[in-house]
Structure 1
Amino acid sequence: MILDVNNASFSYDGITKQFEEISLSLRRGEVLSLLGRNGTGKSTLIKCILNILTLQKGEVEINGRRVGDMRPEEVARQVGYVPQAHQAVFPFSALDFVLMGRAPHISAFSVPGEEDYEKAEEAFERIGITHLREKSISEMSGGESQMVMIARALAQEPSLLILDEPTSHLDVGNQMKTIATIDQLAADGIAILMCTHFPDHAFLISHSAAILNKGRLIAQGRAEDVITKENLREAYGVDICVHYIEEAGRTVCIPMNPCGCRGRGEV
């Protein structure tokens, strides 16, 4: 088991629970999609898994070790993290930016060595963005920046990759490129926890899915069993059709028209 979260609860003020009694696990090569509306505790749960925040109750184990017993650099050697968005402040080249992912493997006051450069180059090649290695991250599109962020996480050589809404700010084409990259990384053996607002993406690549609502998991299991119109209605408060589309060869989620501003068949 790569990731094991047992009966986890967290509160910022010690009274109001941000989430409670959360249990989930991930094996090598598995993708778990975590769904839920904004403010339900997904990002806070990620911070607890990374040991940025301390659980009020329960435990998180990574590769059999409690994260509470691990130093930050030890966690960083095990877990790669890709946040929701990254705003470039300094015009680092993509190569220099990805090299920052080697920080957990470099001792204090040392500089990256030959092996670190090799690992960075491997990360570029692994996701097919070697052509971006010299480009400034301040000049990149959203899709390019997201791929470089993933490459930086891969340079850490993680067994677990956590992505917080990796496709939220991308166009449809770059969403599919990102999803395909995540799928390939899982096929290579990395365990992946992905927070997403797109149930369709869970159908595309997830081995399992979970829905967090009001700080509790209301459903967990195979994506086909978890992502239902009833569960989505409870989680998001809107009606969403879940249908198999013959032409697409898969199940899709289609929100119902909430305002009636266009009738059926109108363009």
Structure 2
Amino acid sequence: IATRNISSRKEKLLAQSLIPLLTCSARIPVYSLMLGFLIGEDNYLMTGFYMASLYLMSIVISAIASGILSRLIYSNETPKLMMDFPLYRRPKLKVILTYGLDRSKSFLKRAGPIIFVLSIVIWFATNFPRTNVPGMNATQIAQHSYAAQLGQAIEPVFKPMGLDWRVGFGIISAFAAREVFVSSLAIIFNAEGEDKTQVHGLIEKMRTATFPDGTPVFTLGSSLGLIIFFMIAMQCLATFAILRKETGSFAIALTQLSLSNMIAYGLAVGVNYLFR
């Protein structure tokens, strides 16, 4: 929406294409989960360092994409937009804390209802249809559920990324909202507890998750590939809808959706094979 003030069609299209690559709050839960799995839940200093590195990486990727797209999008217009930047000063701690709290509340109000509704849908999909076999645990029930049927059908797509049907189902559910990915995995892996306890339980389940042949699902390659996928893929239906409205073209929005996801998938596969 902020691109409405840009008069140049080329620059507006560039901005609309690059903004989804920048790290948004919806990606933070996924990054936090994967960093907790890779470097430990209590290593806050290193987690903060790598989280900042992911922000920086998204900026670098956006700059590279900008250089490529600026050569592919033809325009004979001369840029006319000029902006004066204000003087930058070191922010006060009170301002940082107030802004952080305000953004956290905004995130919970915006994403909370979506996560709640989709979590109910995912719970239903992982617990039904009920199988009348006595002694089956929650994991065995999930393996015969609607979610398993869908996940196993699409598992060949995610297998090159080093992921099984459970993670694939989580990725598919994240297209409604990226934040749902963590809760999807928690339900599918039957991670018990609340808040931090549940995240700890989920990470422990991830450490022991294996394919039928006994090989681990979450290796260094598949974990890094998953982070790269979420960094580049456009998994937000709201973003797609806004792009469709602002560009006035369904084809442009669909092209961006398709290209970003294909590039993200290709890079994730490459990272998985490189680090496995």
Q: TM-score range by the shorter chain?
A: under 0.3
Higher strand share: 1
Q: Report which of the two structures shows the higher radius of gyration computed on alpha carbons.
A: 2
Higher relative contact order (CA 8 A, sep 6+): 1
TM-score under structure 1 normalisation?
0.27
TM-score (norm 2): 0.27
